[in-house]
Structure 1
Amino acid sequence: MSATDALTLRLTRRIHADLTLDVELDLNRECGVVFGSSGAGKTTLLRLIAGLERPDRGRIQLGDTVLYDDRSGLNLPLRERRIGMIFQDDLLFPHLNVAANIQFGLKGEPRMRAKARMEEVAAFCGVSQLLERQPATLSGGERQRVGLARALAPRPRLLLCDEPVSALDITSRHTLIERLRTVQQAEAIPILYVTHSTAEAIALGSRLFLLANGRIIDRGPPLDVLAAAGRGASTWFEGVRNLFRGRVESHAEDRGETRLRLIDGPILVVPFHDRPPGTSLAVEVRGDEILLAKGPIEGLSARNVIPGTVDRIVTHGSEAEVLVQTEAISWIVSVVAPAVTALALAPGSHLHLIVKARSCLILDDGFRDEPSKNII
């Protein structure tokens, strides 16, 4: 894929009498999130890009390839667009095992090459151990990761995701989101992800496209767009979470706690987790469970006091999100806006994060040792 292999589009489609989709959008090799309430036109936008529906007018281009152009009458069929898709329903073939499902899109490839590609995508989607299983024996999260691997197997130039985690439990949601981030880095393709969940938008997107009544009304870094969206924005940030990868370093002798070394980050003391040292784990910490402090710190019951530096502050009404850098990873901390003034916080300020061990939730294991990133 070349550096210019980006998605660019402008299109119009009348959905019904009260809603016309009128969108202009560009996406490079990054993960863009289309965010908006139900009925805003998010799913229709993906279907138009994929070729499942036809715009009334406009142009859709992927790199040097024009997918649709109303002036010339060009409208490439879905099979020629080289676009992968995952939806709420994984749509796996029930009569095929996982390996055969993943290889389905590789028909026509030499046998050994197809097998090698299947094994490659299975590995970074985290389903290598499931290849002989039938879909009916898989959990919802496992099925979605298999669906992701199947979508990626033919080497698509673009991946479209329509709320793929909406039916999953919280652990499976985070696992799939982490896999999508891994996929984007490994395959270096544009990903366009549709959601109405703030947590997902912040977790995955490098850019957010805010869709309302069929039009993109703002675009940019997710935190900035959501904070600028006006009334009700503060409720969008409730439950914002940090998600990190780490390795078990040691356990307390009384089995009361576990020391987890975050990848490219500090030690984090978490509740005891019965895994041997060296095990890869994912840990979640809610942004509103973290305290900020300046000056000498002593006499605390909290097990984690971590030095850091303020990177950025985003204020929205009476609330604020503070991005704090600790070693090579960043945290997002939710505070009330007056705390920013009281602590004299500004980019470059030195402070400490105070995190209770019981605020750290272990979610999953099996992640590769890659640089940790939080949900932003």
Structure 2
Amino acid sequence: MSETDALELRLTRRIHADLTLDVELGIDRECGVIFGTSGAGKTTLLRLIAGLERPDRGRIQLGDTVLYDHEAGVDLRLRERRIGMIFQDDLLFPHLDVAANIQFGLKGEPRLRAKARMEEVAAFCGVRHLLERRPATLSGGERQRVGLARALAPRPRLLLCDEPVSALDLTSRHTLIERLRTIQQAEPIPILYVTHSPAEAIALGSRLFLLAKGQIIDRGPPLDVLAASGRAGLGRLEGVRNIFRTRVESHAEGGGETRLQLIDGPILVVPFYDRPPGTCLAVEIRGDEILLAKGPIEGLSARNVIGGTVDRIVAHGSEAEVIVHTGAIAWIVSVVASAVSALALAPGSDVHLIVKARSCLILDDELSSGSTD
């Protein structure tokens, strides 16, 4: 782990008579997902890290800074920890416009520097066009993106996210998740993200910590942990989604279809989408909407037949997820377990991904240009 950016903790906190939180974990500049059912202790864990509550014992360290150490008597105050937080409720100040909300954490900064930083994070979070508006005029997705910008403005060393998309509609959920992925590339800091959604965990996380009854009972790549038999009552992984960044390459003459260039990946044909070439978009494809095939492919109505190589297979009961690489892109394909043996799939197998154009859901260009929610 990086000496300057890693979060490492071990802590214990009695929540009530039937639940004691007893956790040890570490993450570097990545997104770690805390996954578990309601009542497992997920939110309490974030509050303990942030300094909103105090552990009974333990130690929390961020880089070379000790945030809390029971034995040494160290307990930094919230504002000294340099931690950003976003919650289910955005907690924006209703009497301030978006620009002032974002700049709230920049008090003491020179005016021009604060304004420049505010505009920078507003662009990252897709809210630059909203700067003069008040929170009451914003949609739920817009408010959460403003909350994210406000959390990032003071350049925190750690970002804590407590189910920030749970109250949003599907498109707004994907928008915020995509923003978090973009931000982590631009300003790589550790992110600890709480959710009970397998789709969110797989889309966003690099590592997952499965929390049950106050203890981490498994950890590892999200798909592997979630697919493990008997874990947290999980059977079939519903709604596994692929979300890719793209740009419009061209449209067919007379309309009908649009060609998207996946960033670091292949061309994808989708139903006509009225945006000019060069427009950045995101596209979502459910894992169970993709077919796998081996050998020559002829005579299909599906508009996308994409060659790739199997990276690994994660089986769980009668289901399996096959991870296929096409260039730098990894696709998650959901299949029945019997298809793995029928197609003789194994790491290194050459396969074709078959994707119908209508199976591709476009997430609007607010994902990169900051249009309305």
TM-score (norm 1): 0.95
1:287 to 2:287 alignment: yes
Contact 2:229 2:317 in 1 (8 A): no
Q: Secondary structure at the match of 2:335?
A: strand
Deviations 1:21-63 (A, max 9, x none): 0001111111100000000000000000001111111111111
Contact 2:126 2:368 in 1 (8 A): no
Residues 325/178 of structure 1: CA separation in 2 closer, same or farther (3 Å cut):
same
1:211-230 equivalences in 2 (<5 Å): 211-230=211-230
Q: Secondary structure at the match of 2:116?
A: helix
Contact 2:281 2:368 in 1 (8 A): no
Give, in angstroms, the shift of residue 229 of structure 1: 4.5
Whole-Å separation in 2 of the counterparts to 1:137 and 1:84? 24
Q: Secondary structure at the match of 1:199?
A: helix
Give, in angstroms, the shift of residue 367 of structure 1: 4.0
1:157 to 2:119 alignment: no
4+ residue runs of structure 1 moved beyond 6 angstroms?
Answer: none
Whole-Å separation in 2 of the counterparts to 1:261 and 1:16? 52
Deviations 1:334-368 (A, max 9, x none): 00111111111111111100011111111121444
Aligned to 2:17: 17
1:171 to 2:171 alignment: yes
Q: How many percent identity over aligned positions?
A: 86
2:361 maps to amino acid: L
Q: Secondary structure at the match of 2:259?
A: strand
Whole-Å separation in 1 of the counterparts to 2:126 and 2:97? 16
Q: Secondary structure at the match of 2:165?
A: coil
Aligned to 1:234: 235
Give, in angstroms, the shift of residue 263 of structure 1: 1.2
Whole-Å separation in 2 of the counterparts to 1:3 and 1:289? 42
Q: Secondary structure at the match of 2:364?
A: strand
1:321 to 2:342 alignment: no
Deviations 1:217-273 (A, max 9, x none): 0111101111224264332x2110011111112222342221111111111111111
Count of residue pairs the alignment pairs up:
367
Q: Secondary structure at the match of 2:171?
A: helix
Q: Secondary structure at the match of 1:234?
A: coil
Aligned to 1:333: 333
Contact 1:233 1:316 in 2 (8 A): no
Aligned to 1:373: none
1:113 to 2:117 alignment: no
TM-score (norm 2): 0.96
1:73 to 2:73 alignment: yes
1:53 maps to amino acid: E
Whole-Å separation in 2 of the counterparts to 1:272 and 1:116? 38
Q: Secondary structure at the match of 1:305?
A: strand
2:339 maps to amino acid: A
Aligned to 1:4: 4
Aligned to 2:355: 355
CA RMSD of aligned residues (A): 1.3
Gaps of 5+ in 2: none
Whole-Å separation in 2 of the counterparts to 1:258 and 1:330? 22
Q: Secondary structure at the match of 2:189?
A: coil
Q: Secondary structure at the match of 1:9?
A: strand
Aligned to 2:28: 28
Aligned to 1:372: none
Whole-Å separation in 1 of the counterparts to 2:36 and 2:184? 23
Give, in angstroms, the shift of residue 67 of structure 1: 1.1
Residues 215/229 of structure 1: CA separation in 2 closer, same or farther (3 Å cut):
farther
2:38 maps to amino acid: S
Gaps of 5+ in 1: 370-376
Whole-Å separation in 2 of the counterparts to 1:259 and 1:132? 36
1:250 to 2:250 alignment: yes
Give, in angstroms, the shift of residue 3 of structure 1: 4.1
Contact 1:87 1:162 in 2 (8 A): yes
Whole-Å separation in 1 of the counterparts to 2:154 and 2:84? 8
Whole-Å separation in 2 of the counterparts to 1:219 and 1:48? 20
Whole-Å separation in 1 of the counterparts to 2:3 and 2:26? 14
Aligned to 1:310: 310
